[in-house]
Amino acid sequence: MTTTRSREISIRHQRGRLIRDTLTRYVVGLGGVAVIAAVALIFFYLLYVVMPLFKSADVEIVAQYTLPGGVGSVTTQLVIDEQREIGVRYTQDGRVLFFRVSDGKLINDTQLTLPAGVRLTGFGHGDLAKGLMVYGRSDGQAQVLRVVFNASYPDNVRVITPQLEYPLGEAAIVVDPNGVALTHITVQQGEERSTIVAKTADDRLVMTSLILEESFMDDEPELDVSYQHLSDDMEDIDYLLLDKDQQRVYAASSDGEMNVFDVGDHEEIVQLEKLRLTEIGTTITALKFLAGDISLLVGDSSGKVTQWFSVWDINNTNMLTLIRSFDVGSQPVVSLVSEPYRKGFAASDSAGRLGLYHATAHRNLWSGRVDSDAGDEGQSGADIKSMAISPRADAMFIESADNKLTVWHVDNEYPEISWSVLWGKVWYESYESPEYIWQSSSASNDFEPKYSLTPLAFGTLKAAFYAMLFAVPLAIMGAIYTAYFMAPGMRKLVKPGIEIMEALPTVILGFLAGLWLAPVVEQNMVGIFGLLLFVPISILLFAYFWRSLPSRITHRFPDGWDAALLIPVILVSASLALWLGPGLELFFFAGDMPGWLSNEMNIDFDQRNAMIVGLTMGFAVIPTIFSMTEDAIFNVPRHLSNGSLALGATQWQTLVRVIILTASPGIFAAVMIGLGRAVGETMIVLMATGNTPVLDFSLFQGMRTLSANVAVEVPESEVGSTHYRVLFLAALVLFAFTFMVNTLGELVRQRLRSKYSSL
């Protein structure tokens, strides 16, 4: 009876254990699947945010109607308001026509008033972001005007009201005191100075400067008007541009020749250069500024658009340089228009082919034919007479030769991004050569964003390299000694002490590194480098001295406690190195090693540099590598080491040929996890370096890592913007990198495990 009952109890226990084992297996498996699912969801979410960056532009026709205001006047400029509700058409005969974008219905028709016998002879524009327009007259005078769009909200309904303004006054401005007709003209307005440049009918290039002078008597400010003569030989000039900073005038002829004048000092005009913008036999057919007025876009008769801007050459001369080119088609480019606030533009040829491009990204975003079935390659093209792009670059006006005005909706949110921008060298405006640059923001609306991930990826690897260079030798060697040579009593003190270092918040480490360690290292740099010499030599000398002592003295210290004797040796040698540092610095480096590096070795020095990051991040990584390595070595079966020693091997031979080989999978895993920790570290890098995205492997320069960049800039980025999505791309790159490193590490670990498991 008792035996039967015991058997039943045993069976119940076995069943309970089986149920618990099964339940545990499923719970652990479910947890593993959940972890994998969470990682996959993170990856796909990052991918979801990033994918729109590489989407091409999309266009569609939303309206088409007869040219508002009739076809009797030639259009000189088209304008769209920011909300895509009101359009403006400037005509050659001085009419300013306001119409609804949706259906072309005319809202207002304003005619410029001219004196008797005076006619309009030229038209030009200034900064289109400001809406500046100018008409040249036959009497040598000019009329400057612009349209502003005022928004009001009666009954919570937005109403856009266009208004014609005269920013330099309603009275005409004298440009040529001789009264000769102005055939080509351009204008720019600043806060204190405005400039009008014009070519006259007798082939002179003249300029009028209007400087606003404030009165100390609180009177109305007055305009100081001055007239300058730029050149007498402008017979072939067909294009005239003035940059918005009113520094340079560009006068070009159709045959490809351009004259560049420096007008920054309006009292002394200098002709900077004369150059050719097209190949021999090719003519200029369109000339415009790219947003910001630094780059010139040149359309030519071969169907090409080229980008030019000034670059300092080896002779310290600022010369216009061909940067990149875009193929529009095989026919001459007839129309060219830039986006007001981005480095994008649209170009069309005489066959009616239209293309949307981005200059910095060197990217063709969309191309097709201009007709009712846009993009149908089988359609014959319709000549384009005029184009305009809205301020948000989400709409276009296209006036065709058949006097139709077509309104296009443009979906082109992220034109700035291409693989060359992200990973290649790009020649940015005002730079001397192509470079890898990360600069995501600026105070200027027409700023050229620079989204190269190369310096960030490089900074990530650089920070990890110096951290691992410091951490790996100390952690692994310390773990080997602790696990294999150290006495158990001392091990119980040392291992928990090192592992508790891992609990230190990295923000505290970064704070201490930036505010305390960096200045200390800069002031004691020779002493810090002296530690690398004094401490190892002192340890070796003490070891030699200790072995030379009689055995009756050395045997007083139990085996495994020898390391405690090195503590005073290390402290004394380190103190000696730091004490001798100032004297050595004075003798070898004139008392200023950072200055010597900069002046004599041409090595830039930053106080918060890679050395600080390496020391601090290495300190944070050491506990992880040490703990895992120590466990791997300590858990090597004792019979392996005992068998090796019994066969006559020394302790070192046993360590190198048995213990380390057997523990190598765990050691390798420890290094890989430490590397992953170093690659993903944020706060230490953020606070212990200058956080500058530079491509320099120098120990004395800072860096910016992918993780630090995301932490710094995500809070400031606009949700859904290009900047925002590029930051998510940086996070995706970091995710992919750590995933590949960990996967590779696991594969190598498994290979090592299978190779040495038979020992």
User: The CATH number of the domain where 675 resides is what?
Assistant: 1.10.3720.10
Lowest mean pLDDT across 122-126, 311-315, 354-358: 311-315
Q: Is residue 508 part of a domain?
A: yes
- Within a 13 Å sphere around the CA of 598, how many CA atoms are in the beta-carbon half? 9
Per-residue pLDDT at 371 = 63
Mean pLDDT value of segment 250-258: 92
Whether the per-residue pLDDT at 250 is higher than 60: the answer is yes
Query: Residue 752: is its pLDDT beyond 70?
Result: yes
d(C-alpha 282, C-alpha 277), whole Å: 9
pLDDT at 85 over 60: yes
pLDDT bucket at 121, cuts 50 / 70 / 90:
very high
**173 and 319 assigned to the same domain:** no
Domain with 14, as residue range(s), is 2-54
Residue 23 exposed, middle or buried by CB count within 10 Å (0-12, 13-18, 19+): exposed
Assigned token pair, 132: 């500046």
Cβ-contact 725, 52 below 8 angstroms: yes
CB environment 709-726: b (16+ within 10 A), e (fewer):
bbeebeeebeeeebbbbb
Q: Which of 73-77, 144-148, 461-465, 688-692 has the lowest mean pLDDT?
A: 688-692
- 316: in domain: yes
* Residue 147 lies inside a defined structural domain of this protein: yes
Q: Give 351's contacts (C-beta < 8 A, 6+ positions apart).
A: 329, 330, 331, 369, 381
Chain mean pLDDT for the chain: 88
| One domain for residues 602 and 717 | yes
pLDDT at 129: 85
Cα–Cα distance measured from residue 497 to residue 486, given in angstroms and rounded to the nearest whole number: 15
DSSP of 293-357: SSSEEEEETTSEEEEEEEEE-TTS-EEEEEEEEEE--SSPEEEEEE-SSSSEEEEEETTSEEEEE
Tell which of 450, 473, 495 closes a domain.
450
Mean pLDDT calculated for residue range 431-445: 85
Q: Residue 498 domain-assigned?
A: yes
Q: What does the alpha-carbon distance between residue 459 and residue 472 come to, in Å, rounded to a whole number?
A: 19
CB atoms within 10 A of CB 625: 27
Same domain, yes or no, for 348 and 492?
Answer: no
137 shares its domain with 162: yes
Residue of 619, 556, 632, 655 lying closest to 564 (CA atoms): 556
The model's pTM = 0.88
Instruction: For residue 655, give the DSSP letter.
Output: I
Write out pLDDT tens, residues 709-744: 999 999 888 899 999 999 999 999 999 988 888 888
Map residue 141 onto helix, strand or coil: strand
Return the pLDDT at 323: 94
Q: Is 461 a residue whose pLDDT tops 80?
A: yes
Q: Which of 214, 191, 204, 197 is nearest to 248 (CA)?
A: 197
Asked whether residue 373 is assigned to any structural domain, the reply reads yes
Q: What is the CATH number of the domain that holds 335?
A: 2.130.10.10
How many domains, the chain? 4
398 and 474 co-located in one domain: no
pLDDT band at 689 (very low <50, low <70, confident <90, very high): confident
How far apart CA 430 and CA 344 sit, in angstroms, is 17
* Token pair belonging to 683: 């706060």
Residue 759 — pLDDT band, cuts 50, 70, 90? low
Contact 347, 354 (CB under 8 A): yes
The pLDDT assigned to 396 comes to: 94
pLDDT at 324: 94
Asked if residue 338 and residue 211 are part of one domain, the reply reads: no
Q: How does residue 475 score in pLDDT terms, banded at 50, 70 and 90?
A: very high
- pLDDT tens digits for range 372-426: 444 444 333 457 888 999 999 999 999 988 889 999 999 999 999 999 999 999 9
In a domain, 440, yes or no: yes
Tokens 């070796």 sit on residue: 540
Q: Are residues 524 and 639 in the same domain?
A: yes
Q: Is residue 101 part of a domain?
A: no
Lowest mean per-residue pLDDT among 4-18, 201-215, 416-430, 646-660? 4-18
Confidence band of 648 (pLDDT split at 50, 70, 90): confident
Q: Is the dihedral of CA 225, 231, 236, 240 positive or negative?
A: negative
pLDDT digit string (tens) for 516-565? 999 999 999 999 998 988 999 999 998 888 888 888 787 777 777 878 88
Nearest CA to 290 among 448, 131, 481, 84?
A: 448
- Kindly tell me if the per-residue pLDDT of 472 is higher than 90: yes
Residue 91 covered by a domain:
no
Assign 99 a pLDDT band (cuts: 50, 70, 90).
very high
How much is the pLDDT for 215? 54
User: Do 161 and 120 share a structural domain?
Assistant: yes
Q: Which residues contact 313 (CB under 8 A, 6 or more apart)?
A: 319
pLDDT of residue 379: 37
Which helix (H) or strand (E) is 623 found in, with range?
helix 610-634
The share of the chain scoring above pLDDT 90, in percent, equals 50
Q: Using the predicted structure, report yes or no on whether residue 628 has a pLDDT greater than 50.
A: yes
The region of weakest confidence among 16-20, 283-287, 497-501 is: 16-20
- Residue 410: its pLDDT value, please? 94
| Last-in-domain residue among 400, 423, 450 | 450
Pair 262, 383 in one domain: no
The C-alpha atoms of residue 143 and residue 122 are separated, in whole angstroms, by 11
Q: Do residues 474 and 608 both lie within one domain? A: yes
List pLDDT tens digits, range 185-244: 999 998 888 999 999 999 999 999 988 766 555 555 567 888 888 888 888 889 999 999
pLDDT tens digits, one per residue of 150-189: 988 888 888 888 999 998 888 899 999 999 999 999 999 9
- Helix (H) or strand (E) segment spanning residue 399: strand 395-400
Q: What is the pLDDT of residues 32-75, one digit of tens each?
A: 899 889 989 999 999 999 999 998 899 999 999 999 988 888 99
Same domain? For 591 and 571 the reply is yes
Q: Are residues 511 and 647 in the same domain?
A: yes
Cα 477 to Cα 497: distance, rounded to the nearest angstrom: 16
DSSP summary character for residue 409: E
pLDDT for the residue 125: 92
Which of residues 276, 299, 318 is at a domain's end?
Answer: 276
